Amino acid sequence: MASNNSVFLTIVNDLLEDSSSSSSENEEEMEIILKSKRFKTDKIANYLDVINCYSDDQFKKHFRLNKNTYELLLNIFKNSVQYSTYSKEDHGGSARLGADVHILSFLWFASNKSVLRDVSERFNIGESTLQRIIDRVIEFLLEIAKTIIKFPNTEEEMSKSAENFYKLSGFPDVIGCIDGTAIPIRTPKHKIKSIYCNRHDMPSITSQGICDAKLKFIDAFTGPPGKIHDSRVLKLSFIGNKLPGICGKYHLLGDGAYAIREYLITPYRDFGLSASQQILIESWQLQGCNFCAEIELKKEKMDMIKETIKNYQIHLEEKAAMRQIKKKNKDSGKPIICFDLENVLSCPKAEIKNVSYRSKLNVYNMTAHLTENNSVYCAICTEAYHGRGGNDIASAVYKIICSVLKDHPEYEKFIMWSDSCVPQHRNSMMSFAIAHVIQIRPVMDS
């Protein structure tokens, strides 16, 4: 440091004593030199020696990794393409950094949620150098993940995994357990926060993992917003459609968030009910409603109060009246348009390695069915243009009605059906949209 300062002062004195140059030129040269002078930041020296003195418990506390696992990872990284290519580069300047600096600095950054400045000072490297180290190690981890995180494919591998589970729990033919977890994030820029909020009202993305009996990951998938249910995440994952063909006679274990399948076993839901009540729940059809199911279950457990019986009778009368209206609409011969907002789709479906979650858009699909000829109409838009509010729903329905009338200009009357969702039910936005259709098409019967 002292030698650098002496050289700097010598250059300054030479410039000041140079009588052949004008004062303005000297001032310009002085300004350039002062601006170009680099100040070295004090950093921690020999921190690697301190790490080598850590006990196994201290090392795991700081790096969240056992020493044996670190040494194994270090040896693999030394022989990797990423490090061998880097170590052969020769651009002058500082000496090449060792493989231990790569792995330890990355582990500290990943396990302690530290900023680049803190890690670079701790390991005595520049911030830009640390950023390249992180990119290099991540590329290395993604490459070896293909050989480490892999689903059992052969009969021998599945049989061995099922045997380990049977020894552990006595449950036969299980090759893995599946579940999802939330990774907290900050809401990405230009995104709607509610899309990423999970049931704890915390912005997050969902990570789905499948583990074997030794708690080793055999599959991992990350990316969907935290608002999406675990069962939906399974459908979006790359292994979701492959499980029926891969598992065969074997299956996974999951919690109650997943639907029961031949390849996915979920817990038996014991509600403390009698056998007949349990059968009623299991055989309940989609056309049933929650209120009727609640009344049927209460019949065996307790006597209902008069007010409940009165409300139930009114409910049954309203259901009967609604069925009559539906039957009358069907028998009238008039075209019926049934519409509803389908599930939110995450697009594009791509690996996080290539396309991060920031580039994924939620796509809304308003679907309508025309009963006369079983035609289907869709109004699709991304969250970059629309949301799921009353105005957005009304705009989608308006587009669908215009498409239907374009295909069937002879329509003077039609009937619209929807569920009780407020944005797509009777509200001012929907009323204005339908009124506008009648206004631009006078032949329509209001």
Helix 127-148, helix 99-112: angle, nearest 10: 90
User: From CA 128, how far away is CA 45, in angstroms rounded?
Assistant: 18
| Residue with the two structure tokens 């350039």 | 32
For residue 355, the model assigns a pLDDT of 45
For residue 134, the model assigns a pLDDT of 93
What are the strands of the beta sheet with 264-265, ordered from one edge? 217-225, 204-211, 174-184, 251-253, 264-265
Residue 147 burial (CB count, 10 A): 7
- Which tokens in the block code for residue 402? 């215009």
User: From CA 157, how far away is CA 145, in angstroms rounded?
Assistant: 18
- In this structure, is the dihedral angle defined by the CA atoms of residues 303, 305, 308 and 313, taken in order, positive or negative? positive
Question: Are the beta carbons of 208 and 245 closer than 8 angstroms?
Answer: no
User: From CA 230, how far away is CA 106, in angstroms rounded?
Assistant: 30
List Cα–Cα distances, 45 to 40, 51, 94, 133, 414, in angstroms.
14, 12, 16, 19, 79
Give the CATH fold of the 336-440 domain: Nucleotidyltransferase; domain 5 (3.30.420)
| Residue with the two structure tokens 């215009």 | 402
For residue 157, the model assigns a pLDDT of 92
**Which amino acid is residue 395, in one-letter code?**
S
What angle is formed at CA 356 by the lines to CA 352 and CA 360, rounded to 5 degrees?
A: 110
**Residue 293 carries which DSSP code?**
H
Does residue 409 have a cis peptide bond before it, meaning omega lies within 30 degrees of 0?
no
Q: What is the pLDDT along the chain (446 residues), one digit of tens a residue?
A: 555 555 555 655 565 555 445 555 656 665 665 555 556 677 888 888 899 899 999 999 999 999 999 999 999 999 998 888 886 665 566 778 889 999 999 999 999 888 999 999 999 888 989 999 999 999 999 999 989 999 998 899 999 999 999 998 888 999 999 999 999 999 888 888 888 998 888 999 999 999 999 999 999 999 899 888 899 999 999 998 899 889 889 999 999 889 888 899 988 766 565 665 555 555 544 445 666 666 666 655 555 556 677 777 887 888 888 888 888 887 887 888 888 887 666 665 554 444 444 456 677 888 888 888 888 898 887 776 777 777 888 888 888 888 888 888 888 888 888 877 766 666 788 888 888 888 887 766 65
Buried b (16+ CB within 10 A) or exposed e, 149-182: eebbeeeeebeebbeebeeeeeeebbbbbbbbeb
pTM for this prediction: 0.55
Strands 361-370 and 345-347: antiparallel
**Residue 122 carries which DSSP code?**
H
User: From CA 399, how far away is CA 393, in angstroms rounded?
Assistant: 10
3 state SS of 14: helix
- Which tokens in the block code for residue 329? 């609409």
Helices (H), 37-172: 47-52, 56-63, 67-78, 81-88, 99-112, 116-122, 127-148, 155-169
Question: Are the beta carbons of 242 and 219 closer than 8 angstroms?
Answer: no
Domain residue extents for the chain: 2-36, 47-147, 155-265, 275-323, 336-440
| Residue with the two structure tokens 């310009």 | 28
